Each structure stands twice: as C-alpha cells, then as structure tokens.
A and B are shown apart, each in its own frame.
Chain A
Amino acid sequence: MYIVHMVVCSTQNHLVFSRGHTEKTTDPQLFYNLYSMQRQRYARVLACLMLLAGVLLNAQELQLVYREGVHRVDLVQISSHTYLSLNQIAGTLGLTLERQDDRILVQGPRATLELIEGRPLVRAQQEYVLLSQPVVRRGSRWLVPTDFVENVLPRILDAPLQLLPFGDNGGQEQVSVQVLNSPNRVSLVFLPSRRMLFHVEEFDRALQVRVDRRVEFLQPRVRPESSLVASMDCQTEPESTTCEIVKGFDFRSYRSTQAGDPARLLIDIYSTAMAEVDPVAPNRSTPEQRGGQVITIDPGHGGEERGVTFKGLFEKDLVAQISRHLTMELARRRLVADATRTSDFNPSLQRRSSVANGNRSSVFLSLHVGGSYSAKIRGPVVFTHAGEMAFAEKAGELTPWHQGQTGFAAQSRRLALLIQQRLNGLFGTDNLPATAPLEILAPVQGPAVLVEAGYLTNPADAEVLLQPDFQEAIAISIVDAIEEFLL
C-alpha cells in the first residue's frame, strides 16, 4: 500500500497536497501519476517564488534630473530588455499623453512626439528616431526603452534632461556614456557627474577620450553601430582615465564639442564627410566661405556589378578613376567632396542616395559611362530624374522616399544643362540632357544628376576614356559646371 499524506515528502512514497488531505492508494500507476503531477506543481510554485523574490531584490530605479529636480523612475524588465513607463515619465515631467488607437502622442513644451505600439520608431517633428527596442503597450501602460529618455525626450523639453543610475557610487566620479545611432552617424554623449575637461585625440585606428583624473566610465546601454564604432574600451589609471573608441570600417570623419549645462562631451562619428563641413559657414558665395557645401560623388556600379563592359574594360573601374580626379579637383577648389564608394564594392542604390541626403549635398552626381549595342552612339549624356513628383511639400510633413527630387527638379535640370554643355565642349558633341525615372536620383533631396561620361562601346570614346589626362579633363569640366551652378 502507498500512502500519500500531508507531510513534506521525505521518500518517494510521501507527498504533500496543497489542499491538505491524505489519500491512500494501492495502485502504483495512480500513485506515480499523482506524484508526478504534484512535483510539477511544486516546481512551478518554487520558480514563481524565486522570480518574485529576484524581481524584488533586483528592482532598479533611475534618476531623471530635470529643472534642478531629481525624480526616480522604475525600470521594467521585459525579456532581457529594460523599459521605462512612459506614463510615469510623463507624470514626472509634466508631459501630456494623448492615445489614438495603436499610437500615442507625447506633448511637451516645445514639440510633440508620436509613438506607435510595436515599432521602434518615434516621430519627432520632421525626423524619425530609431530606438533600441520597440515601444510596448501593457493595457493602458506604455513602455519605452531607456534610450527614449536620452535620445528623444530632449527634443520636446525646454530644459536639459539627464538620466543617471540610482545608487551610491562610493564617492568616485562617474561619466555615463549615451549612444544615439542614426543613418550614417553615431553620436556619443559623455555626461560627467561633475564638470570636467575632456581631451579628444584621433589616432590611426581609434579616437581617444582622456580625463586627467580617476573616473568611472559607465557602459552605454545601447551599442553603437559597429560599422562606425568597432568597440569602446575604457581604462582607469591612478592619475587619469582614457576611453578608446575603435573606428569601424565605415568611419569617415568625426566632430567633437564640449558643452555646458549640463556639462557634457559630444562626439559625432560619420560615415560621410559631414564633419569636414563647417556647420556655421554660409552656404554660398566666395571660395573662402564654401565650408557648408558638400558635393557627393557616386561612382556607379562596383564589386561584382561591373556595369557596361567592352573589350575587357569595365565601367566600374573607369568611373572610379574619374571620381578620384573629381575628388581632387573639388578639393583643389575648396569644395568638400564625399564619395559613396572609394573601393571596389557595390553599395545599394538606397545607401548611395542616403549618403547624398546624409551630407545634405549641394550637388549629387552619379558617375557612369554609357553603353549601347550600336557602336555609333557616342558622347556624354547627363540625366535628371523624371518620375512621379506629385507630392506637395508642406511644413512639418515628411517627404516620401521616392519623391526627394520634388522641389529640386528645376535646379537639377539647370545643373544637368551646365554639365552637358561643358562635356559637349570636351567631347566635341551636341548631345542634349535627358530624363529618366532613375532609382538613385529619385530620393535625393538636392540638385542631382546622373552623368554618362561618354560611351564605352564607341571606339573613339573608349580610347580617350582610358587616358588619365582625358579623365582629368572630364573632372575639370564637371567641376567648372558645378562651380558655375553654385555661384
């Protein structure tokens, strides 16, 4: 006979029932089933208890420093990600929440944010900010990842906001590092617990941030985009602390600024030439004042995508060579040049257009050479985009991706005509500029053209296109036209 009673089990034949009664059975199978069922129930109860205790012990808080007030906000753990309650933040900072089906509007003193349930994007005025995790809704409670506070909220507040970990740091000074990943850019914000001077130095493979005292660098909660920042390593020594920001493969330029109120160091890392542009320089006029203008050059094709091929010549190689001449010529005339590729690979068309927009290019020029099954076709042709541009630009509205040329069509046509005239003079042709629905130009928000600098399939054009002097002459003609356009 097997006895099942209410004492805590000590042998395989004893079990505790939660309802506290005792059963007797002679059936070994029934006993085994009861025993197995109870064991599962216990395991679940224990696991729940442990989780509850763990949550209570590890319950964390953060501090929001806003308008000289320090407010505590609770952290909510979902899977392995940390969230904050938007309702609690709004209550603390005096923001208004307005729910609309699957979205919520957050109204601040300066602007309004729009969040959509299940999406990691926040619309802030005319920009979208990418969060590290999607926005989550639990009943009437909205949860946002922690980088929402650091990267999004300051856009709608009228005073600086700081997010600090809660707890005692043993008196040691701390620097928290915040990360904002954007297309073509990573922004690093170093927020010290007390005002201090940062030294930033660039080396071949890394940027070094140094502080002449012993501080603790707090790891960022969001990882920087690895193509721009390969890694971050901070080391504390008795007299100083250094933080090494190892450059990613797409690192192109950086800009650092120290600001006060609150004291902080900002480092913007770009995959484009943006940092080489003087942000305060006017956008026009004399050569000495050209700091604000970026000319983005896009050498067509690349990698396995060879473009037009003729007698062992590849379009991708020729346009890369001409682009190098163009970049040098632009630099010689104090114009900032950026290229969508500088080696033999094929970035997507979307990425190429993104670089143009990321640079806020004064001119975007996609460089190609033409090809035709007829060897008689020759000379340069400059194309502009001719697609649907029905989008009516309104203040505060975002431009759809494929309608970036809306508002720039006339400028693009003028630029095309100027380049066409100069290149016709060089090639001795009378070709006219043309239009086509071009995937690469459609999204560019600025004057944009696609240049076919001669036909590789024409023997006369192919012969001159191979000559470095002629390639340089093409570059000079194009830059002459760009200069005339920018005047």
Chain B
Amino acid sequence: MKTSIAALLVVIAVAAALLTYQSEKERMQEPVQEPVQEPVPELVVQPQPESAAEATTRSVKVFFFRPSVTNPGKVDLGSSTEEILHQSNPTAMALSLARAALAKSGALVGPRAGVEQVFLLEDGTAIVDLARQTAGQLRGSVACELGLLRSIARSLTTNLEEVEGVRFILGGQEAKTLAGHVSLSTVFR
C-alpha cells in the first residue's frame, strides 16, 4: 500500500516539477536589471616619501644578527649607526628602518628578500609585511631565523617611540613561521 502511494507521489512530484520548470523558464526569459556595483575603495596606504627639497637624513641605530661561535643557540644582536632619509610620517620611517635592518642582515638572506609594507597600529604594534620570497632565502636555522626577526623588531622599537612591539606577516598574510621554526604569532619587542 505504502509503495503504491509513494509511486503516486513520485508521479505527482515529477508533474509538479515539470510545470514549475516551464513557468520559471518563461519568467527567467524576462530581462533582469543588473544591480550597479559600487567600486570598492582601496584600503592599502603606501607611505609617501618627502619631497626632495625637504629631504634630510637622520641617524638611526640599526641592529643585525651576529652568530656566536662559542654559543650558537644564543641570539646576539650587534648594532651600527646609519644615516637614513628622515620622513615625518612614522609609517614611512618604519618602512625605511625595516628595510635598512634587512639590508644589514644581507648575509642571512638572499637578494630576493624584502619588506613590502609596514603598518602601525594605535596600540603601538608595528606589522611588518615581509616579501614571500624572504622565507626561502633564509640561510640558516632557528638562531638565524630568530636573529633576523629580532634585529628588524629591535631596529623599529629603538628608533621609533610610536613602536612598542613588532609582529610579522608574510606576503600580506598571516603565517605560522618564517622558515619552519620561530612562531610568527609572537610580538617581538
């Protein structure tokens, strides 16, 4: 009994579906006005360098990783005083500093490594966006990876009073590690 009722229902369902399909098909043939898409505003703000006429330099302390022969696990940072272009915009200054620190650690990373962006948050955290290629360019293991990150962070926190801590992202996205060891969820100070 149940089977025959079920079969009848299936027949009714098929008929209903066919009718609906045909009606909907006719309705769909009517032209539909596309909603107008508002342009999405660009969110990325590129730091602008000062004009050449106003350009002055500023002495900054740039940190770099110095491997220790006697204690290879220790992350020792050396520093040197460098002259970099002074910029009143702290974000632009932070970007210059981060690039200077990375350049100073040239022996650690290859030529394709780079800093793409720096973002300053209101709570004093600087987000440093490293180029994706930086990960594959690192020559070394745990100490070198940590040394590179700390040297960039220390260069920012020492020279910019707006920066209290530094976090790193890779290729514009959050990443677990730079080269498989050191946690990038860490805030470096």
The 8 closest A-B pairs by CB, nearest first: A434-B73, A381-B73, A43-B19, A439-B183, A46-B16, A43-B20, A437-B186, A40-B23
Given known pairs A370-B72, A373-B107, A376-B69, the reply for A439 and B181 (CB within 8 Å) is yes
A364 at the interface (CB under 8 A from B): no
Q: Are A402 and B183 in contact (CB under 8 A)?
A: yes
Given known pairs A50-B9, A372-B140, A437-B186, the reply for A432 and B74 (CB within 8 Å) is yes
Q: Are A432 and B12 in contact (CB under 8 A)?
A: no
Instruction: Name the distance in Å between A32's Cβ and chain B's nearest Cβ.
Output: 10
Q: Are B26 and A368 in contact (CB under 8 A)?
A: no
Closest A residue by C-beta to B144: A372
B89 at the interface (CB under 8 A from A): no
Q: Are B12 and A49 in contact (CB under 8 A)?
A: yes
- Write out the residue numbers on chain B whose beta carbons fall within 8 Å of the beta carbon of A300: 180
Given known pairs A372-B140, A437-B183, A450-B142, the reply for A377 and B69 (CB within 8 Å) is yes
A273 to B72, CA, bound (A): 34
A54 at the interface (CB under 8 A from B): yes
A455 to B5, CA, bound (A): 78
- Write out the residue numbers on chain B whose beta carbons fall within 8 Å of the beta carbon of A277: none
B115 at the interface (CB under 8 A from A): no
Q: Are A53 and B5 in contact (CB under 8 A)?
A: yes
Given known pairs A46-B16, A300-B180, A436-B146, the reply for A377 and B6 (CB within 8 Å) is no
Q: Report which of A44, A305, A379, A442 forms a contact with B72, defined as CB distance below 8 A.
A: A379
A438 at the interface (CB under 8 A from B): yes
- Write out the residue numbers on chain B whose beta carbons fall within 8 Å of the beta carbon of A49: 12
Closest B residue by C-beta to A52: B9
Q: Are A442 and B183 in contact (CB under 8 A)?
A: yes
Instruction: Name the distance in Å between A383's Cβ and chain B's nearest Cβ.
Output: 6
B121 at the interface (CB under 8 A from A): no
A446 at the interface (CB under 8 A from B): no
A455 to B184, CA, bound (A): 24
Given known pairs A373-B108, A438-B142, A452-B142, the reply for A431 and B73 (CB within 8 Å) is yes
Q: Are A36 and B26 in contact (CB under 8 A)?
A: yes
Q: Are A349 and B176 in contact (CB under 8 A)?
A: yes
- Write out the residue numbers on chain A whose beta carbons fall within 8 Å of the beta carbon of B74: 432, 434
A46 to B11, CA, bound (A): 11
B81 at the interface (CB under 8 A from A): no
21 contacting pairs across A/B (C-beta < 8 A): A36-B26, A39-B22, A40-B20, A43-B16, A46-B15, A47-B20, A53-B9, A300-B180, A308-B140, A349-B180, A350-B176, A368-B141, A370-B143, A377-B69, A382-B73, A383-B73, A434-B142, A437-B183, A439-B182, A442-B183, A457-B139
B185 at the interface (CB under 8 A from A): yes
- Write out the residue numbers on chain B whose beta carbons fall within 8 Å of the beta carbon of A301: 180
Q: Report which of A373, A438, A457 forms a contact with B181, defined as CB distance below 8 A.
A: A438
A36 to B67, CA, bound (A): 82
- Write out the residue numbers on chain A whose beta carbons fall within 8 Å of the beta carbon of B70: 430
A433 at the interface (CB under 8 A from B): yes
A240 to B20, CA, bound (A): 51
Using a CB–CB cutoff of 8 Å, the interface residues on chain B facing chain A are 2, 5-6, 9, 12-13, 15-17, 19-20, 22-24, 26, 67-75, 107-108, 139-144, 146, 176-177, 180-186
Q: Are A371 and B144 in contact (CB under 8 A)?
A: yes
A440 to B73, CA, bound (A): 17
Q: Are B143 and A434 in contact (CB under 8 A)?
A: yes
Using a CB–CB cutoff of 8 Å, the interface residues on chain A facing chain B are 36, 39-40, 42-44, 46-47, 49-50, 53-54, 57, 300-301, 305, 307-308, 315, 348-350, 368-374, 376-379, 381-383, 387-388, 402, 430-434, 436-440, 442, 450, 452, 455, 457
Q: Are A455 and B73 in contact (CB under 8 A)?
A: no
Q: Report which of B73, B141, B176, B184 forms a contact with A433, defined as CB distance below 8 A.
A: B73
- Which secondary structure characterizes the binding site on chain A? mixed
- Write out the residue numbers on chain B whose beta carbons fall within 8 Å of the beta carbon of A387: 183, 186
Q: Are B72 and A431 in contact (CB under 8 A)?
A: yes
- Write out the residue numbers on chain A whose beta carbons fall within 8 Å of the beta carbon of B20: 40, 43-44, 47
- Write out the residue numbers on chain A whose beta carbons fall within 8 Å of the beta carbon of B186: 387-388, 437
Q: Report which of A348, A368, A438 forms a contact with B182, defined as CB distance below 8 A.
A: A438
Given known pairs A431-B72, A439-B177, the reply for A373 and B144 (CB within 8 Å) is yes
Instruction: Name the distance in Å between A173's Cβ and chain B's nearest Cβ.
Output: 25
Known: A433-B73, A434-B74, A439-B182. 15 other contacts (CB 8 A): A40-B19, A40-B23, A43-B20, A350-B176, A370-B140, A371-B139, A372-B141, A382-B73, A383-B142, A436-B146, A436-B182, A439-B183, A439-B185, A452-B73, A457-B139
Instruction: Name the distance in Å between B158's Cβ and chain A's nearest Cβ.
Output: 20
Closest A residue by C-beta to B20: A43
Closest A residue by C-beta to B184: A439
- Write out the residue numbers on chain B whose beta carbons fall within 8 Å of the beta carbon of A439: 176-177, 181-185
A428 to B9, CA, bound (A): 85
A472 to B183, CA, bound (A): 31
- Write out the residue numbers on chain B whose beta carbons fall within 8 Å of the beta carbon of A374: 67, 69
Instruction: Name the distance in Å between B105's Cβ and chain A's nearest Cβ.
Output: 10
Q: Report which of A42, A381, A383 forms a contact with B19, defined as CB distance below 8 A.
A: A42
Q: Are B6 and A57 in contact (CB under 8 A)?
A: yes
Q: Are A371 and B16 in contact (CB under 8 A)?
A: no
A53 to B6, CA, bound (A): 9
Q: Are B72 and A438 in contact (CB under 8 A)?
A: no
- Write out the residue numbers on chain A whose beta carbons fall within 8 Å of the beta carbon of B143: 370, 372, 381, 434, 436
A282 to B139, CA, bound (A): 45
